[in-house]
């Protein structure tokens, strides 16, 4: 019941956040031409554009971009191999865990008749995918705090995202380790599937086998056991358990945890440690799901969308309604990676003027305030406008953006809108 209610609440919050984001994409105006276009018109134009693209030759372009830029992420690889490996490990490992493990009842079980989370290759793959994410998170922390990539800033949302991912992974490993050694988990499995409740000798034999071969820590049971007892337990295991349980050593991240806490496993089991870890793990997953539309991690959805949309749209021929929607989406697609800033032709002026809005990656954070009408101080707004006008149209930022954002087009739209609204030009307009 707890699991179901928590899942529904998380899905509800996620859905509300997603609807809010889509509504913003269809209502935010980034150009003067789009200000008079109603939301209904923008929604219908977007739907029409999607249908026309799918049933045209441009679908081949979408397929190409999906594999090269979304899956392989060639732009990230071209710029920074270390960052590419980090991104692939976190993104790839996490998505594989979601598809194979989190959605096991929807995807994995229907595809594989013999599926069980404790059976190979699924047992091994789950630990492998989790390890990939953990290695990727460690590399991200190393890059951010040790290598200190140029002009790479860290904000609270970056930290929340990394901490949440780490919590999901670590709690999952600890949960797996606690369940491997848990006597109550073993006993519940025997009661549910073994049918040995009243067969004391057979239960003793199976327990001896699981203590010896599967790492279970049982009360009042000590090794070594007689060979005949182990063989009897092995036969019972082969008949009742082997179809759903591979050797726990294949769980190469969880099994070492079980061995490390073997001496206190009974105390942890009596305290319900595996139950507490189960709640912690699933709550972290549900919080992550609910938080996704409001976090930086939302770019796992918006960045692929931006890449796909920009691959088939043209600023000169596309419907103005769709251009406005695309540009509103692009603000959400920015992952604040700093590639554009590192390649910016006027970025060096920042060292002299100290206005962060000169830097493309920072403009992507501040411009939404200007176009949304949020209250900003006169000094702050002047810095935003000044930074928006400072651009040489060199196209370098657009060329290296891993999210495929047409930054040059975005700067042009923003400064033209500000200029037409009568905001003074604080810098020489290139």
User: What are 285-304's pLDDT values in tens digits?
Assistant: 999 999 999 887 898 899 99
Tokens of 232: 């009897």
Q: How much of the chain exceeds pLDDT 70, in percent? A: 92
Tens digit of pLDDT for each residue in 90-99?
999 999 999 9
Distance, in Å, from the CA atom of 243 to the CA atom of 80, rounded to the nearest integer, reads: 45
What is the three-class DSSP state of 196? coil
Examine the pLDDT at 371 and tell me if it is beyond 80.
no
Q: Between 203 and 372, where is the model more confident?
A: 203
> 54-58, 64-68, 425-429: lowest mean pLDDT where?
425-429
Q: Quote the DSSP letter at residue 195.
A: -
The span from the CA of 354 to the CA of 369, in Å, is: 20
Mapping DSSP to helix (H, G, I), strand (E, B) and coil, where does residue 273 land?
helix
| CA distances (Å), origin 245, targets 20, 186, 238, 352 | 44, 11, 10, 65
Q: Measured between alpha carbons, how far is 219 from 207 in angstroms, rounded to an integer?
A: 10
The band of 21, judged by pLDDT with boundaries at 50, 70 and 90, is very high
Higher pLDDT, 3 or 395: 395
Gap between the Cα atoms of 67 and 65, Å rounded: 6
Q: What angle do CA 392, 395, 400 make, to 5 degrees?
A: 135
pLDDT at 430 (0 to 100): 44
- The reported pLDDT for the residue numbered 44 is 96
Give residue 416's pLDDT.
Answer: 77
pLDDT of residue 296: 79
pLDDT at 365: 83
pLDDT of residue 429: 46
Segment 314-361, tens digit of pLDDT: 877 888 899 999 999 999 999 888 889 888 988 888 878 888 888 898
- Find out whether 165 and 97 touch, Cβ atoms under 8 Å: no
Confidence of residue 152 (pLDDT cuts 50, 70, 90): low
Share of the chain above pLDDT 90, in %: 55
Token pair 């959605």 is at which residue? Answer: 103
Nearest CA to 368 out of 115, 62, 96, 24 is that of 24
What's the farthest any 2 CA atoms get from each other in the chain? 92
Q: How far apart are CA 39 and CA 212, in angstroms?
A: 66
pLDDT greater than 70 at residue 367: yes
**Segment 65-111, tens digit of pLDDT:** 999 999 999 999 998 899 999 999 999 999 999 999 999 999 999 99
> Chain-wide mean pLDDT for the chain?
87
pTM of the model: 0.85
391-406 tens-digit pLDDT: 888 889 999 999 999 9
Calculate the CA 53 to chain-centre distance.
Answer: 28
Q: What is the pLDDT of residue 59?
A: 95
In the predicted structure, residue 313 carries a pLDDT above the cut 50: yes
Residue from 358, 421, 422, 420 nearest 389 by CA: 358
Nearest to residue 114, comparing CAs of 231, 246, 310, 216?
246
pLDDT, one tens digit per residue, over 233-271 is: 999 999 888 888 999 999 999 999 999 999 999 999 999
Q: When comparing pLDDT for 371 and 276, which is higher? A: 276
Compare 251 and 163 and report the one with higher pLDDT.
Answer: 251
Sign of CA dihedral 338, 342, 346, 349: positive
What average pLDDT does the segment 1-23 reach? 89
**Stated length of the chain:** 430
In this prediction, residues 221-226 reach a mean pLDDT of 80
**Cis status of the peptide bond prior to 390, with omega within 30 of 0:** no
> What pLDDT does residue 425 have?
58
* pLDDT grade for 423, boundaries at 50, 70 and 90: low
- Helix ranges (H only) for 182-241 are 183-189, 200-213, 227-240
Distances (CA, A) of 15 to 7, 10, 284: 12, 8, 18
Q: Is the pLDDT of residue 64 over 90?
A: yes
Q: Output the CA–CA distances (angstroms, integers) from residue 243 to 74, 108, 110, 193, 421, in the order listed.
A: 42, 17, 17, 11, 71
């Amino acid at each position: 019941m707890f699991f179901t209610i928590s899942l529904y609440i998380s899905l509800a919050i996620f859905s509300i956040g997603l609807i809010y984001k889509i509504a913003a994409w269809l209502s935010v105006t980034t150009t003067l031409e789009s200000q008079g276009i109603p939301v209904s018109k923008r929604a219908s134009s977007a739907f029409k554009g999607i249908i026309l693209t799918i049933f045209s030759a441009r679908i081949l372009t979408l397929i190409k971009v999906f594999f090269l830029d979304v899956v392989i992420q060639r732009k990230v690889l071209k710029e920074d191999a270390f960052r590419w490996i980090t991104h692939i490990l976190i993104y790839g490992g996490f998505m594989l865990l979601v598809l194979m493990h989190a959605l096991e009842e929807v995807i994995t079980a229907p595809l594989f008749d013999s599926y069980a989370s404790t059976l190979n290759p699924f047992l091994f793959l789950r630990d492998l995918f989790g390890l990939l994410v953990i290695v990727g998170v460690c590399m991200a922390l190393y890059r951010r705090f040790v290598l200190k990539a140029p002009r790479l800033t860290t904000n609270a949302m970056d930290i929340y995202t990394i901490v949440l991912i780490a919590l999901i992974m670590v709690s999952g490993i600890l949960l797996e380790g606690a369940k491997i050694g848990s006597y109550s988990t073993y006993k519940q499995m025997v009661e549910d599937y073994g049918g040995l409740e009243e067969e004391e000798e057979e239960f003793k034999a199976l327990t001896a086998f699981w203590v010896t071969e599967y790492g279970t820590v049982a009360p009042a049971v000590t090794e070594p056991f007689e060979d005949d007892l182990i063989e009897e337990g092995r036969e019972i295991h082969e008949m009742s358990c082997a179809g759903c349980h591979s050797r726990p050593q294949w769980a190469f991240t969880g099994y070492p945890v079980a061995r490390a806490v073997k001496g206190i496993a009974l105390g942890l089991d009596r305290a319900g440690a595996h139950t507490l870890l189960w709640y912690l793990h699933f709550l972290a997953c549900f919080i992550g799901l609910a938080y996704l539309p409001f976090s930086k991690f939302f770019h796992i959805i918006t960045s692929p969308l931006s890449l796909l949309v920009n691959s088939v749209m043209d600023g000169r021929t596309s419907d103005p309604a769709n251009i406005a929607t695309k540009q509103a989406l692009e603000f959400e697609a920015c992952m604040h990676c700093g590639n554009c800033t590192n390649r910016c032709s006027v970025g060096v002026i920042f060292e002299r003027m100290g206005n962060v809005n000169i830097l493309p990656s920072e403009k992507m954070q501040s411009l939404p305030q200007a176009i949304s009408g949020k209250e900003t101080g006169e000094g702050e707004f002047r810095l935003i406008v000044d930074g928006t006008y400072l651009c040489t149209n060199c196209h370098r930022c657009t060329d290296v953006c891993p999210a495929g954002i047409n930054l040059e087009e975005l700067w042009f739209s923003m400064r033209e809108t500000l200029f037409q609204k009568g905001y003074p030009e604080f810098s020489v307009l290139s």
